[in-house]
Amino acid sequence: MSPLRVWLEHSISPLIHV
């Protein structure tokens, strides 16, 4: 798993779950 992918998931996921 690429660091960028991890960063995107941790950055975008919270916004979607809100």
pLDDT at position 16: 76
pLDDT tens sequence across 1-18: 799 999 988 888 877 776
| Four-point Cα dihedral 7, 9, 15, 18, nearest 10 | -140
pLDDT at position 14: 77
Which residue type is seen at 7? W
Interatomic CA distance for residues 16 and 5, integer angstroms: 16
pLDDT at position 2: 92
Phi-psi region of 2 (alpha: psi -120 to 50; beta: other; left: phi over 0): beta
